[in-house]
Structure 1
C-alpha cells in the first residue's frame, strides 16, 4: 500500500510540471491508480448497524428492520416486517397523513420535525426522522428509507417541574386542583383574575364556591362523574364570581391517579368565554332580528314557523300566518324624512306587539311589511279576529316629532295546515292574500281561502251588527222558569239573552254568542244582561210582584277579581238583594287557576249570591276539585236528559250526577226536560227542579210575570203533594 501511495505522489508531481496532452495522460494514470487504491483499501465499519433504519413500501408497511431499530423500539425484525408503521404511533395521533410518507409528496429527501413514537413497552419517546425515497432503476419510487434517532432529554426532572409550574401559573386559563376529598389545594393567578377569589379565600373550600345554581341535577352528576374518574369531561358551565356575577366558562375536568391507580387529585382548566358569548349573541341578533325595530326578521320567523308546523302535524292543531302591509309610510318618509318614518315603524311594531299574546310571533319583513305567526288558534276564524284587531290598532294617530301621523294597513291571512304544510308555501299564500287585499276597495283583510273569506265576512258582519244592537236597544231578556219537582211551583228562572234584529228577526244565541266570546264583546253583553236583569227585578218589585231568584249566566271572561265589586255596584244601583240573583257558570271556568277562582266564588257567596254549575258533565273539570268549589246548584245538561228513561248510559250518568250532588248537599236542576217520562224518572232519582219545554220555553218578561201572578204550576200527576 505504501508503494502505491508513493507512485500516486510521483504522478501528481509530474502532472504539475506538464501541460497539454502530456498532463492529461498523467492525470488519467493517477485516476486509475486512485481507483485501484480505493478498491484495495479495507471497508470502513458500517454505522448502519447501530442506527435505527427501516424501509417502508409506498403505503407505509415495513419491509426491512435493522438491529438499531430493534434496540430503539424494542420490536424484532420478525415482529415488524409486514406491520404498518402506525404501530409505532401514539394512540392519540390519529390516522391522518403519515410523517414517514411526507417525502413522497415533497418528491425527494426531507428531514421531519421532532415526533413522538411508542416503543414495544408502551413508553413514548421523542425521535428525529430522516427520510429518503427509494427509487428503482427507472427512477420510480418504490418505497421509503427511514432513519430514526432518539432525542435526548433537554431538561432535568427538576427543570421540568419548575417549567411546568411556571406554565401553569402564567397560563391565561384558570387552573383549579382538588384533592380526593374535593377540597381545593391549588389555584393559579388566572383563577383569581377570573373569579375574584384570592388563594386564602379558595384553598380548603370545595368547587361549590363557584356554583351558580343554574344547572340541573343531571348536569351536575355528569361533572361529578368526571371528577370521580369516569373520563375527562369538556363543556360549558355557568359559574359565579365572588361579586355574584354569573359568567360562562369553557371547562375541562380530569382525574389524576396515583401509582396504585387511585384518584388522588382532580384538575380543572377553565376559560372565561363571556366575550365570545357576547359576540355570538350579537351575531345571532344580527342574523335573526330586525335592526330597526328589534323584532324577529324573516329568518327567525321561518325557523319558528317551521317548528310550529312540525308540532301542528303531530297534535293536529291549527295555526295561521298574517301578513300586514302598512300604507302611507312612503309619503311620511318623503315629506318628513326617514328618521320620522323609522320612528313610526318602531311605534307600529310596539302597538302590534302589545295587541298579541305572548306566544304569538311578530316579525318585521322588508320595507313596510310585518308578519304575525299565530302558532296556535282554537278555530281558523280566530285568525281573522286577530288580524282585524291588529289593523284597528293602526287607526289611532301616531305622534312623532310633534306631528300627528295617520297610517292604515291591509292584511293577508293563510291558515295551516289547510293552506300549506311548509313555510315557503304559507308565506307565498299570505303574500297572495295580501296583494288581493291591497287591491280590494271593500276588504281590509282577506284569507287565502275563499271559503274562509266568506266565513270571515259573516263573522265580521255579526260582530258589527252586534255592536250596533247594544247601542240601538235591540237586545232583550227572555226568562225560562225553573219548576220544583216537589210542588210543581215556579221557584226561579234563567235570564236568557235574545237579539231582535231589525231585518232578520230573532237571532239565535248560538250564532252571536260565540262571536261575542271570540271578539271580547261578551264583556259588554254580560254587563248588559246583569244590568237589565236587576232593572227588571226592580220593576217587578215596584209592581208588588214577589219574584223568585233570577239566574244570570257569566262568561269565563267576566270572571276576574273585580267581578264582585262590579256586581255589588249594579245591585246597589237598583236596590236588589244578592239573594235575588243567582250566577250560572260553566265547567270551562273551573279548569283555570283553581285558587284564584275559588277566592272569587267565596267572595260572591259571602255576599249572599247562589252559584250554579251549568251544563255539568260536558266539560273536563275534575270531580276531586268540584268539592272545593262553593257551588250551591248543579245543572244536568240536556244532552244527558234527552235519552231518559230509555238510554241506559244517560240513565247511569243522570243517576251518578244526582247521587253526587246529594252527597255534596247541592240542589239539582235538570235542563231540557220535554216529556212526562223524563220528568218522572228525574223525580224518582231525587232531582229537585226541572227547566224545559215540558213546562215552558223561554218567554218575555211580561209573560213570565203573568205566570207568577196566575200561579201557573207543573202537573205532577198522582205524585203531586197536597197544596
Structure 2
C-alpha cells in the first residue's frame, strides 16, 4: 500500500481503456499473471482494479483447473470491477455534493465555508483543497478589510469634523459628526448624492472639488435638512474603504469660527476704540501693544511706549509695597486690581484704576499681561473733596462733628491706657445771632472765620478745635495731667473770643459761653462727655454768659427734664394732649362776663400736668409754637362760636400770639379761622408782648395793621413789666392795654406804684385805649381798679382758668358780687 507502480511492468495498466490480462513481474519481482480492469468516469479511466496471481501457482494444476480458475478469476474480476465502478461513482457524487454546497455557502457570503474533504491526489480532492485555500484567503482578506474599515470608522467618528466617503457622485458612508452638521441620521445620507449637502448654486463647485481635489480646502455654503444654510470648509483626501482606496471629504462647520472671527474683529475694534487705556506686555513686562486711549491719556505715542516697561508712567509717589503686591499677584497667575498714581509724559499726575490680568497659552503658561486702565483723576479729586466735606467744616476749615468725634475716641483710648485726663469744652458765641440778623450772614460767616483762627492760635498742636454748626465750637484737650489745664485753656478761649473783630467797616464784639466736661470724672464716652459739656455751656449762659462753667450733675438733670419736655411736646398735638382753659374777663361797668382769655394747657401721661412757663419757651425755641399757635387760634375761634350758640349772646375771645408766629401767613390764618366758624372779627382779640415790638421790624407793623383792617382787636399784654414805652402804644394800632398782675399786686403796698398806675390809666384813656387789669385777686384790688375806671378786670377773685363746659356753667350760674 502506498507504493508507486510507475516505472514497473504494471504501469501499462494505466494506459489501458478496457479489461486486459497479461504476465509481468510484480512489485515483489516474481512473475504474476495480472487481470486489469479500468474504472471509467465520463468515458475516462480514472482508476484501475488489478488482480495478480503468481505464475507458479497458476501453472501447478492442470490446464483444465487452470482454465476453470482463470474463468472464475475473470468472473470475480468482472464483479469486482462492477462493484468498484459503483463504489467509485458513489464516492465521487458525495464529494462533489460537498464541494457544491461549500461553494453555495461561500457565494451566500459565508466566508468561513469549507468542503471538509481531506486532501487527495485526484481531481476532486485537488479541487476541494484549492477551494478551501481560496475560501480561507477570502476570509482572511475580508477580516483584514473589516479591520481596516473599523480603523477608518473609529478615526472618522473620533474626528471633530464631518467625514464622508464617496464615489464621485454618491455618498458611501458618513460619520456621526457629519450627520449632525447637516441635521440627518447617518443612514439618511448613505447612498444620497453630494448635491444634497449644498444649495443648488454650490452643487457644481462641490462636485468638481470632489472629483479633483484642489491644493487646499474650499469654503462654500452648506444646506441642512431643515433648509437652513451654514458656512462650510471642505477638504479632500483618500482612505481605504470596503477593500479599495476611496475618495474622502472632510467637512467642517465654520459657523462658530466665523462668529469667533467676527467677534475677534469686533473685540479688536473694541480694544482699539475703547474708552479705557489698554496695554499688553510680554511675560517680562516689555510693552508690546497700547491702544489709542492709552496714548491720549499718557501722552506717549506707540513708538515711545512699545519695547519699554510700564515704568515710563511711574510717578515715584506710590508706596513700594503696592508694586510688590501687584507683581506677586500677577506672577501667581491671579488678577490684580487697584489704583495707581501715574505721571504723564508732560509730568502731570493722574490717577488710574487698573485691572491687570495674566494671559496664558494652551499649555497654561503665562505669556503676556494685559492691563485695562481707567483715568479716575476726577473721581479721586471728587472723593477727596467729599472726604474733606465729610470731615471738615467748609466755612472755617476746622474739623466737623464727625472728625471731632473720631479724634475724641482716640484721645479717650490713649487716656485710658496712660491714666490721663481729657477735657471737652463746648463753646457758644454770645451775641452772634444779633450780628447775623443785623449785618447779614456774610458778616456772620466772616466773624466765624476770625474766631476759628483765633481758637487754633491759642491752643496746642495736639488739641482739636471743631465747628459743630452755627456758632458752636467743640474743643478737645487730650493728655491732660490735671484739671487746671482745662481752666487755663478755657480762659485763653474766652480772651480770644472777646477781642474786637474788624469785619468790613464794622468793629464787632462777641463773647463766649463755655462748658467743660472731664474724662473720666464726667463721662467715659464721647456722647456723654459732649452732652455734659453742652449742659455746662447752657449753665454758663444762664449764669450771665462770657464765662467757663464746669459740668454739674444738677444741671444735667435739668437738661434731661428739658429734653423730656421737648420730646413730649413734639407729639402732644398728635396725641391730643393739648387743651384750652378759659379765664373770664369781667366788664367792670356792667359787672358781667365780657369775654375770656384762652390759655394753653398740656397734660402728658408721663410728665403729668406741665406748666405753660415750662413748655411755652421750649415750643418757641424749637419752632413748635407755629403749629401749636395755629391750633390755639382755630380752637379759640371754635370756642367763641360755641359760646354764642350756648349763651345766645356774643363774648369776645382773647388769645396770645408768640413773636415766632408774627409773619404774613398769620393774617390769612386768622381770616380763615373767623370765616370757618362764622365769627365776627371784633369778637377776637390778639395779645402781643413788648418783646415783639422791641425788634421794630417793619413787617410787624404791616401785619398788625392788616389785623386791624380785618376788624380784630389788638392788645398790648404785660404792660409795666418791660420797657413800657409809650412809643409802642402810639406807633402800633392797639385797642386795649393789659396791665400786668405783678404791677397790680404792688399798688396796695407802694403809694408810688398806685400813682403810676393812675397815670397809666389816665394816659390810656386819653389815647382811646381800654384798660384790662390782670391779677385781681382781692376785693381791695377790685376796688382800686374800679376806682380808676378800668374797663375790664381779670383774676382769681372772679375765677381761675377752667375747661369750656365749666366756663359755660360759670357764666350761667354765677353772678358778680361787688
Give the TM-score of the pair, scaled to structure 1: 0.43
- Which structure is larger by alpha-carbon Rg, 1 or 2? 2
The structure showing larger relative contact order (alpha-carbon pairs under 8 Å, at least 6 residues apart) is 1
Give the TM-score of the pair, scaled to structure 2: 0.38
